Structures are given as C-alpha cells and as structure tokens.
Chain A
Amino acid sequence: GNSVTQMEGPVTLSEEAFLTINCTYTATGYPSLFWYVQYPGEGLQLLLKATKADDKGSNKGFEATYRKETTSFHLEKGSVQVSDSAVYFCALSRYSSASKIIFGSGTRLSIRP
C-alpha cells in the first residue's frame, strides 16, 4: 500500500545549522508530495509541496525535491532559526488534492539559540 517513512526524531540543532529531514515514500504512479509543519499548540500547516518528478517545492527557506528514482522528498534548510522548532510531517496524496493524505510519523525539530 501507499506509505511514507521519515527519519526518527527528535532532531536537535544549533541556530544557523543546516537541516535535512529524510523522507521516502511507497506509492504506485505519481503521487503529490507534501511537507506539513505543526508548531507547538497549533494545527497542521502546509509548508511546501511538489506534484511531479523533479519538481522542487520551496517556502520560508525550506526546500524539497521530488525524486522519483529514489522515491524521496527530503526536507532541507540552509540555516535554521529557533522559530523553526516544530514537528515536520512528510506526506503524500495518491491521486489529487481531493484524495486522502497519508502522513509519515513526524519528526520533532528543536533549535538551540
């Protein structure tokens, strides 16, 4: 079946460090891929997305590239800030945005000042 696997947390980094959170997926065809972020005490917010192979999604300094050959969608940021502390969820949607979203288990990120 369709699934998403992302690196276990928690991840703790110092401010201005480089961030990578790994995500791989299993799905037939060409799913849409997403990163959602959940800040403490808040709901899920879409961070970025990519809908076809080799697309790069980007937002707020975060980037992820849809790699079909490696079935991956790793999240990266060049210089993290304390305000980036949150839980990050990799996710996929099998057919379109109307389809259910399948989430990974989430990675908690903590940034030290």
Chain B
Amino acid sequence: EPEVTQTPSHQVTQMGQEVILRCVPISNHLYFYWYRQILGQKVEFLVSFYNNEISEKSEIFDDQFSVERPDGSNFTLKIRSTKLEDSAMYFCASTDPGTSGGLSADTQYFGPGTRLTVL
C-alpha cells in the first residue's frame, strides 16, 4: 500500500538554527499538508499546499516557516530560525480528493512524523 514517508525521524538542533523537514507524499496525490503535535497536546494544522502554492495556513505558520515542492516527489517544511517552542512532532499528509471508493477515498494520509527537538 502506498504511504507517506518523512525524513529524518528525529532532528535535534540548536535554537536559532535553520531546519528542513522532508516528506515524500503518495505519488498521485495533489494536496499536501503539514501538521504539528507538541508533546501531550493536540495535532494542529500548519499549512496546506496545492498547485505549487499555499492554499491555507494557520496563525502558527508565520514568516519563520516556509514550504516548497522542489521536485516532483518531495515536499519540505523549512523553519528559518528555530525556537524552543518549535519542539514538536511534525506530520506531513497528502490527499487526492478525486479518488473514490472505500476508506481510502477522499482521505488525508499521514506520514510517521519527524520529531524536532530544539535545544
């Protein structure tokens, strides 16, 4: 079964450093997302991306964050200058709303996450 993959699984960085989190969405999907989950808290939406541009972003997604689809397979989240409060699990997701039939239809598929630790 196709799946969303994310690298690295764990990233440790110093405050103020730039990090890039990588995701490979499911190959025929067209919509891509980043969510994050601070330890012990709920999963929060960050940004959605379609047709090479941001379609929606939350108030969390400020100027320190950016997303890019640098080629036909990768989708990245960059944090320019990390803060302690950016420590969280970051999940990538993808969907193709045009699929039909069964549980997989019209569904966002999530990757396993990247745990970001900012020291």
B25: chain A residues within 8 A (beta carbon) = none
Q: Say whether A42 contacts B112, CB under 8 Å.
A: yes
What size tier do the contact residues of chain B reach?
20 to 34
| 1/0 contact string of A78-105 vs chain B (CB within 8 Å) | 0000000000010101001111111111
Whether, in the assembled complex, A51 has its beta carbon less than 8 Å from a beta carbon of chain B, the answer is yes
Q: What residue in chain B is nearest A46 (Cβ atoms)?
A: B107
Which of B33, B41, B43 has the most CB atoms of chain A within a 10 A radius of its CB? B43
Q: Say whether B112 contacts A89, CB under 8 Å.
A: no
* Distance between Cα atoms of A87 and B7 in the complex (Å): 23
* Distance between Cα atoms of A98 and B93 in the complex (Å): 11
Q: Please report which residues of chain B, range 77-119, place their CB below 8 angstroms from some CB of chain A when the two chains form the complex.
A: 91, 93, 95, 97, 103, 106-113
Whether, in the assembled complex, A17 has its beta carbon less than 8 Å from a beta carbon of chain B, the answer is no
Q: Say whether A101 contacts B45, CB under 8 Å.
A: yes
CB proximity of B32 to chain A, nearest CB, Å: 10
Given A43-B113, A44-B110, A49-B103, are A98 and B95 neighbors across the interface (CB < 8 Å)?
Answer: yes
Whether, in the assembled complex, A45 has its beta carbon less than 8 Å from a beta carbon of chain B, the answer is yes
User: How many residues on A have C-beta within 8 angstroms of the other chain's C-beta atoms?
Assistant: 25
A104: chain B residues within 8 A (beta carbon) = 42
Whether, in the assembled complex, A59 has its beta carbon less than 8 Å from a beta carbon of chain B, the answer is yes
* Distance between Cα atoms of A3 and B16 in the complex (Å): 33
Q: Say whether B103 contacts A44, CB under 8 Å.
A: no
Whether, in the assembled complex, A106 has its beta carbon less than 8 Å from a beta carbon of chain B, the answer is yes
Q: Say whether A105 contacts B106, CB under 8 Å.
A: no
Given A98-B48, A100-B33, A100-B48, are A44 and B91 neighbors across the interface (CB < 8 Å)?
Answer: yes
* Interface contacts beyond A44-B43, A101-B108, A103-B44: sample of 6 additional A-B pairs, CB < 8 Å, sorted by A: A43-B110, A43-B113, A59-B103, A99-B56, A103-B42, A105-B42
Binding site for B on A (CB under 8 A): 32, 36, 42-46, 48-49, 51, 59, 89, 91, 93, 96-106
